[in-house]
Amino acid sequence: MILIVDDDPSITASLALLLKQHGYRSVSANSGEEALARIRSERPSLVIQDMNFSRRTTGEEGLELLSAIRAEHPELPVILMTAWGSIGLAVEGMKRGAADFITKPWSNALVLQSVETALKLAETPEAASEAPSRAELDARFDFANIIGSDPKMLRVLELIARVAPTEASVLIMGESGTGKELVAEAIHGNSRRRGRPFVKVNLGGISSTLFESEMFGHVRGAFTDARQDRKGRFEVADGGTIFLDEIGEIDPASQVKLLRVLQDRTYEVLGSSRTRSVDLRVVSATNRPLHELVASGEFREDLLYRLNLITISLPPLRDRRADVPRLASHFLRLASEIYERRVDGIAPRAMEWLKTQNWPGNIRQLRQTIERAVVMSNGGELTLDDFVAVRDLESRQRRDASLPDAGTMTLDEIERGMIVKCLKHYEGNLSRVADALGLCRAALYRRLEKYGIAV
């Protein structure tokens, strides 16, 4: 049973018909008082409520009803309805515990998707006091590419298992190298969209001037170099999942454009006036504290709440040291195959040393260390001396990265070399490169063009 709360009979009738056509029973209420009475008598599984029930347009009535519902029935999911220009009200409702929000005029497909997701998440119990074992999870889900059985990782896998079958947007947070992309792939691989496109987009590597063309595509002649039509990432991902990596790096102007397509799943190809629809799931990731960026005005709060219906926080490797041996052994096998070296194992002292390291680069750094040790090793087993040699080599490389002798390089050569080094260090993340060099993104783009550096 779904309760629809709106003072406009045409709204309640339209929603009731839509829900009935898809197998949902519903009842209606046209005021907050009637809604609370219906909840007590009908015991609905979900509430869809407007933000205003009279001529007032402040939305306070809707927020008051939401608070009353949450106070009496904290587990009852509530979906808010609001006009596009009042999304700020919906964001406030999300802060107060709403499950989702939809905008008027609505898309029937998005309404049904929101209803189904809210109901599925509500009927799935919260994580128990003890997480299931790795074997129990592997028996039901495909987590083959995620290595680890530390309790913190088991909690993550359990959450992936809960949200993957839904259409909920997911925000993955964690330090660089913690495996955010693998988690996104696991969400897609265990969803109903598996077998459909999984499109990865590194937003940190897309400039604001190229954002529309990259994401929405362009038609021939849309701009000077547009010699032929080009599909955007959203069109390529249609029917599947789009993974928006480095979401915290997107500039304010592009945030507005992204919010619109995430809100109603429509967009316009650059150079065309025809509106297109897209059916996809959104998974995003960042290593930056988005709530702090919202507080500083660098990231839109409404975009944040559209992205993080569910948040998955990945623990750093230093907080899951019990998984280091399995990860190290896995990377050893891969490196032995790639570099065609016969290395059969890691000595006990060496493995203990690996477990004691802080790994600021997390799993990615551990993998690079194993690979370097395999290349430098002469024996059939990696020893502590091999890893010490790798550490010393890295220290020498850092020392060698100091300034060159006077007269050996021009300033342009030094600047170009530093930009290339920063691009490599920050893995092409242009926002972090610009910050490290003390430049704005526009100044960095000018230098990339000046020195012919491809990103």
Cα–Cα distance measured from residue 372 to residue 282, given in angstroms and rounded to the nearest whole number = 36
What is the CATH number for 215?
3.40.50.300
- Has residue 405 been placed in a domain? no
Looking at the fold, whether 88 and 103 belong to one and the same domain comes out as yes
Residue 21's Cβ-side half-sphere holds a number of Cα atoms within 13 Å equal to 10
> Do 268 and 152 belong to one domain?
yes
Residues 23 and 69 placed together within one structural domain of the fold: yes
Contact 264, 104 (CB under 8 A): no
Domain count across the chain: 4
Together in a domain, 254 and 178: yes
Same domain, 161 and 292: yes
CATH code, domain carrying 370: 1.10.8.60
Burial of 18 (0-12, 13-18, 19+ CB in 10 A): middle
201 domain residue, yes or no: yes
Other Cβ atoms closer than 10 A to 69: 24
Whether residue 128 is contained in a domain is answered as: no
Q: Which residues contact 260 (CB under 8 A, 6 or more apart)?
A: 266, 267
Establish if 406 belongs to a structural domain.
Answer: no
- Whether 390 and 266 map to the same domain: the answer is no
Give ∠ CA 357-246-193 in degrees, rounded to 5: 105
Query: Are 48 and 90 part of one and the same domain?
Result: yes
The answer to whether position 268 is within a domain reads: yes
Q: Are 283 and 198 in contact (CB under 8 A)?
A: no
β-bridge pairing 2-5 and 46-50: parallel
Same domain, 180 and 254: yes
**Residue 129 falls within a domain, yes or no?**
no
Q: Which of 123, 147, 177 is the last residue of a domain?
A: 123
Decide if 220 is inside a domain: yes
Quote the CA–CA distance of 160 and 77 in Å, as a whole number.
20
Q: Which class for 358: exposed (0-12), middle (13-18), buried (19 or more C-beta within 10 A)?
A: exposed
User: Residue 246 in contact with residue 202, Cβ under 8 Å?
Assistant: yes
Distance CA 77, CA 46 (A): 5
Residue numbers of the domain that contains 192: 134-313
The span from the CA of 110 to the CA of 113, in Å, is 5
- Which among 313, 336, 355 is the end of a domain? 313
- Report the CATH number at residue 88: 3.40.50.2300
Look at residues 313, 343, 358 and tell me which one is the last residue of a structural domain. 313
Co-location of 218 and 300 in the same domain: yes
Burial of 172 (0-12, 13-18, 19+ CB in 10 A): buried
Judge if 189 and 151 occupy the same domain: yes
Contact 213, 267 (CB under 8 A): no
CA nearest neighbour of 316 among 153, 98, 130, 140: 153
Query: Residue 213 falls within a domain, yes or no?
Result: yes
- Sequential pLDDT tens for the chain (455 residues): 999 999 889 999 999 999 999 999 999 999 889 999 999 999 999 999 998 876 666 778 889 999 999 999 999 999 999 875 577 888 889 999 999 988 888 889 889 999 999 998 887 655 445 668 999 999 999 999 999 999 999 999 999 999 999 999 999 999 999 999 999 999 999 999 999 999 999 998 888 888 999 999 988 887 777 788 889 999 999 999 999 999 999 999 899 999 989 888 899 998 888 899 999 999 999 999 999 999 999 999 999 999 988 999 999 999 999 999 999 999 999 999 998 888 989 999 999 999 999 999 999 999 999 999 999 888 789 999 999 888 887 776 665 556 666 666 788 888 888 898 888 888 888 888 887 888 877 788 888 888 888 87
Locate tokens 């600021």: which residue?
Answer: 360
For residues 156 and 232, state if they share a domain: yes
394 plus 421 within the same structural domain: no
Task: Name the residue among 221, 128, 437, 354 with its Cα closest to residue 451.
Answer: 437
